[in-house]
């Protein structure tokens, strides 16, 4: 079975959709999962994203069958699998530290799930070759895991999880053991393989950039619950809560009060001065306190005495200017007492320094706001 045949075999299978219905898991008084309901469509790549202790790994292990939920259901193609043992769930799993057998060769590691299924040797050999071709490890079959780099070991673990053509692939912090550069490279490699096969995939990570790069949708988890589900763009551009806005990259927040807009819709009168139109669908209402979400890269700074800022710009003092390579990180103190950070693209030296007065411009298009933090 070559690489193309391996892909075709996967496409001919009906990859599964997964549904979690009111899933709960308690450890004594602690609710590790607290009423999680979620649907993952066939062929979708969904990432459970959250900090340590948010419940994401416990949720993944409940899907795999290694954690028995206290209540709720795990349904695969509409069939209740909540109490099925892991080996009957047709699920491939890649652990964070790969769990390769150190005494076995790469070929034997990948072949292991097929040997446990008592498949014929000729069929095993064909499938192993196809899986290793898929993860670009052709010619590495005779090596031991200790003779491979971290990225190569990760590919072996992925090949082993895919070799028996499961209907769902689970990834538990798959890149957590790799260094930064290799981790970024493997993000694109895993996504390539997933899209090539079209396999339903659920990944767990605490790394926001990893989730954005690899996912069709992201489910943000907090304290055992799902805070928001959406595409990477929806999560980043339109966070439902301040927690999501803070968790998904750097954010500034300008406090204000929501009021009806002059031409319909809503606007936010900020304490910093500007009045900004709000985008449709913001999770705030007229008369409520709200926090304007402003990403650092969407602020522009110019010297207070110069030209180039709009009349509605915010007056501020640059308290710190830091060179970070592709950008300048500028910390700003506002007259309102608020502190924000701007990221200015590196096009040469900035025309101001720490201690200088500057004008800070906001983007002209409609802005996003979330309910004000207590």
Q: How far is CA 129 from CA 62, 95, 236, 272, 338, in A?
A: 31, 22, 40, 63, 60
Please give the pLDDT value at position 249. 85
DSSP conformation letters of 109-156: HHHHHHHHTT--HHHHHHHHHHHHHHTT-TT-TTS-GGGS-HHHHHHH
Percent of the chain scored above 90 by pLDDT? 70
Segments making up each domain of the chain, as ranges? 3-237, 250-371
pLDDT of residue 3: 54
The confidence score (pLDDT) of residue 8 equals: 57
The mean-pLDDT minimum among 9-13, 263-267, 275-279, 359-363 falls in 9-13
pLDDT of residue 372: 92
Q: 177 is written with which tokens?
A: 């053991």
Tell me the pLDDT tens digit for each residue of 205-221: 999 999 999 999 999 99
Q: Per-residue pLDDT averaged across 48-57, rounded?
A: 94
pLDDT of residue 132: 92
Q: How far apart are CA 116 and CA 128, in angstroms?
A: 14
Place of tokens 């954010």: 251
Give domain 3-237's CATH number out of 3.40.50.9100, 3.40.50.1820, 3.40.50.300, 3.10.129.10.
3.40.50.300
pLDDT, average across residues 32-37: 96
Q: Which of 154-168, 218-232, 252-266 has the highest mean pLDDT?
A: 218-232
Distances (CA, A) of 284 to 149, 266, 275: 50, 9, 16
Q: Domain 250-371, CATH 3.40.190.10 — does that match?
A: no
User: Does the structure show a pLDDT above 80 at 312?
Assistant: no
Query: For the ranges 65-79, 160-174, 234-248, 302-316, which has the lowest average pLDDT?
Result: 302-316
CA separation, residue 278 to residues 1, 31, 123, 266 (Å): 55, 37, 60, 6
In this prediction, residue 9 carries a pLDDT of: 52
Mean pLDDT of 212-236: 96
Distance CA 295, CA 253 (A): 9
Are 311 and 325 a contacting pair, CB within 8 Å?
Answer: no
Q: Is the pLDDT score of 189 beyond 70?
A: yes
| Residue 308 pLDDT greater than 90, yes or no | no
For residue 1, what pLDDT band results from cuts at 50, 70 and 90? very low
> How confident is the model at residue 323, as a pLDDT?
94
Over residues 52-70, the mean pLDDT reads: 95
- Average pLDDT value for the chain: 90
Residue 306's pLDDT is what? 63
Q: Are 277 and 320 in contact (CB under 8 A)?
A: no
User: What is the average pLDDT across 249-277?
Assistant: 91
Q: What is the pTM of this model?
A: 0.89
247: which residues sit within 8 A by CB, 6+ positions away?
Answer: 49, 50, 51, 208, 220
Q: Residue 77 region, left (φ>0) first, then alpha (ψ -120 to 50), else beta?
A: left
Contacts of residue 4, defined as CB under 8 A and 6 or more positions apart, other chains included, come to none
Local confidence band at 182 (pLDDT 50, 70, 90 cut-offs): confident
pLDDT at 364 over 90: no
Quote the pLDDT of residue 263.
80
- pLDDT given at position 318: 96
pLDDT at residue 309 greater than cutoff 50: no
């Amino acid at each position: 079975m070559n690489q193309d045949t391996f892909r075709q075999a996967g496409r001919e299978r009906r990859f599964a959709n997964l549904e979690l219905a009111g899933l709960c898991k308690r450890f004594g008084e602690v609710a590790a999962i607290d009423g999680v309901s979620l649907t993952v469509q066939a062929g979708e790549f969904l990432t459970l994203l959250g900090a340590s202790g948010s419940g994401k790994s416990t949720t993944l292990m409940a899907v795999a069958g290694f954690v028995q939920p206290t209540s709720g259901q795990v349904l695969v193609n509409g069939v209740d699998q909540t109490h099925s043992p892991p080996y009957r769930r047709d699920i491939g799993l890649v652990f964070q530290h790969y769990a390769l057998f150190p005494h076995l060769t790469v070929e034997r590691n990948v072949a292991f799930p097929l040997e446990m299924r008592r498949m014929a040797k000729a069929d095993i050999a064909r499938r192993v070759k196809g899986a290793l071709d898929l993860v670009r490890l052709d010619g590495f079959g005779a090596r031991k895991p200790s003779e491979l780099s971290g990225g190569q070991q990760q590919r072996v673990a992925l090949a082993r999880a895919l070799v028996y053509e499961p209907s769902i692939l689970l990834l538990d912090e798959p890149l957590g053991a790799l260094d930064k550069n290799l981790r970024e490279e493997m993000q694109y490699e895993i996504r390539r393989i997933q899209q090539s096969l079209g396999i339903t995939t659920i990944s767990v990570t605490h790394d926001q950039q990893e989730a954005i790069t690899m996912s069709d949708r992201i489910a943000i988890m907090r304290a055992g619950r799902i805070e928001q589900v959406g595409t990477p763009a929806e999560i980043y551009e339109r966070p439902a809560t301040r927690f999501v806005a803070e968790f998904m990259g750097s954010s500034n927040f300008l406090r204000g009060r929501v009021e009806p807009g002059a031409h319909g819709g809503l606007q936010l009168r900020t304490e910093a001065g500007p009045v900004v139109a709000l985008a449709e669908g913001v999770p705030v209402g007229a008369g409520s306190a709200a926090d304007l979400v402003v990403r650092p890269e969407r602020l522009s700074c110019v010297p207070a005495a110069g030209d180039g800022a709009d009349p509605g710009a915010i007056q501020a003092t640059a308290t710190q200017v830091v060179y970070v390579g592709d950008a300048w990180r500028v910390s700003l103190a506002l007259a309102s007492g608020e502190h924000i950070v701007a990221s200015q693209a590196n096009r040469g030296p900035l025309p101001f320094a720490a201690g200088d007065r500057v004008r800070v411009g906001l983007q002209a298009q409609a802005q996003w706001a979330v309910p004000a933090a207590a």
